[in-house]
Structure 1
Amino acid sequence: MIQNKSVLAIIPARGGSKGVPRKNIRHLAGKPLIAWTIEEAKKSKYIDRLVVSTEDEEIAEVAKSWGAEVPFVRPSELAQDDTPGIDPILHAIKVLPDFDYVILLQPTSPLRIAEDIDACLEQCVDKKASACVSVTLTDKSPYWMYNLIDENTLQPVIISEKPILRRQDAPDAYVLNGAVYVADIPWLERTNSFLHEETIGYVMPKERSIDVDTMMDFLYLETLLSEMIDASEEK
């Protein structure tokens, strides 16, 4: 609990992953991808209940073996390629009522740590915000991004009176990193989205903001984590 408010954490993990088959239980540096998120969530100071939402029996068994609850089977219609990401969360908070805050923890952010989870929640509560989501500083400034129109004509995404030509002159821009989403539950049920004009951001460092979406992401993380583990063992 935080300030006498109860907290439900949900890890959504469907079985049908296209980019990386069986991604959520594929081993990353010695343990299933989903286990990285379960382990950190279990270290949280505030989470009252940690559940995994899945329609997949094997994912459910792996999740339970790493210490998460799987109190229900997600309906198959909420586990399709085109299922909006918010729908399994709304389903879970309906099945498990009487919590004040919900935290969405995607298993594709394995480098997120318990301190990130707790700090995002603290920021949401302390600032009396309806929702708080994690972001990170982007490497690519939107001031250097373009749309291609009319046979490859370049149109700036952000049109400014004076072009910004040097990287150090561009204002900081932040991008969602997908690691932590926090919301007041009654508010989320009204808005059906974590992202709203009332949502605030919690900044995470780039080194903990890697999102596993493709096989290249997976292989990169595998190499990175193996090197980190080897370096730690040598000390």
Structure 2
Amino acid sequence: MKNICIIPARGGSKRIPRKNIKNFLGKPIIAYSIEAALKSGVFSEVMVSTDDLEIAAIAQQYGAKTPFLRSPENSDDYASTTSVIKEVLANYAATDVFFDGCCCIYPTAPFIIPDNLVQANQLLVSGATDLVMTVVAYSFPIQRSLIINSSQTLAYKYPDQRLMRSQDLEPSYHDAGQFYFFLVNQFNTRDSIMSDRAVPLIRSELDVQDIDNESDWMIAELKMKLRLAHT
């Protein structure tokens, strides 16, 4: 199977300026995503989709390709990951380059490991799914969540489950924000990445961190230091 890895990394970032190339424990954070993709050995092409020349130069320094810059339409705050991926695939198709599989790896996902990419590729090749994505369990049961009602008092969102034992509650998961590995032909028929045949790769809380602000960044660095100390 011929695969491409797309790492979407535009230049604009308001909450953490230049987030995609900010130093994360010794190197630009995007380098972790690039290196994991290259080390996995499952991609014919590892490329960074960006509108920023500095990001493009750093991506090339770490081994990724940047054959074209992202269009202005896909470079603002409202551009979706799906539209960015479709633009990249269309640009390759315009030069008669086509792929069977595509993996979108986020540029701020330093906890990705090559083995997860290999595992995801094997699942796709087996025909078991057309999308593999990383997920992590909610650390607290969402069935015990509270809402603030119209009278500004607290109430259980799921009152019928409030007295159930924690071990009897169904686990819930959320997107780990690391990667989506999918079959291109099926993806092209959808208007979003998500598929009704999606298969999860479950990650632990120590191997996942959403990075939206400076506090998230510090937590991610602490988690990485903890990981490195135990390897």
| TM-score normalised according to structure 2 size | 0.89
| Pair 1:190 & 2:189 matched | yes
Matches within 5 A, 1:74-153: 74-97=70-93, 98-153=98-153
Q: Which amino acid aligns with 1:121?
A: N
**Whole-angstrom distance in 1 between the partners of 2:149 and 2:218:** 35
Unaligned runs of 5+ in 1: none
Q: 1:38 to 1:91 in 2, by over 3 A?
A: same
| Partner deviation per Cα, 1:172-218 (whole Å, 9 max, x = no partner) | 22111011201111211110212132222221222222222211111
Q: CA deviation at 1:56?
A: 0.6
Cα offset, 1:158, TM superposition: 4.3
Please report how far the alpha carbon of residue 15 of structure 1 lies from its aligned counterpart in structure 2 after TM superposition. 0.7
Contact kept? 1:24, 1:32, Cα under 8 Å: yes
- Whether contact under 8 Å (1:182, 1:194) holds in the other structure is no
Are 1:207 and 2:206 counterparts? Answer: yes
Read off the aligned partner of 1:185 and give its amino acid letter: V
Identical amino acids, percent of aligned pairs: 27
* Shift in CA distance, 227/174, structure 1 to aligned 2, threshold 3 Å: closer
Residue identity in the other structure for 2:200: G
User: Is residue 37 of structure 1 aligned with residue 33 of structure 2?
Assistant: yes
Distance in 2 between residues matched to 1:120 and 1:145, nearest whole Å? 32
Q: 1:73–1:209: structure 2 CA closer, same or farther, 3 Å change rule? A: same
8 A contact 2:46–2:64 mirrored in 1 = yes
Structure 2 unpaired stretches of 5+? none
- Equivalent residue of 2:40, what SS? coil
Provide the alpha-carbon RMSD of the alignment.
2.1
Report the number of matched residues.
227
CA distance in 2, matches of 1:119, 1:198: 16
Where does residue 17 of structure 2 map in the other structure? 21
**What letter corresponds to residue 25 of structure 2 in structure 1?**
A
The 3-state SS of whatever aligns with 2:107 is coil
Structure 2 CA distance for aligned equivalents of residues 40 and 184 of structure 1: 20
SS in 2 for 1:191: coil
TM-score normalised to structure 1 length: 0.88
Shift in Å at residue 227 of structure 1? 5.6
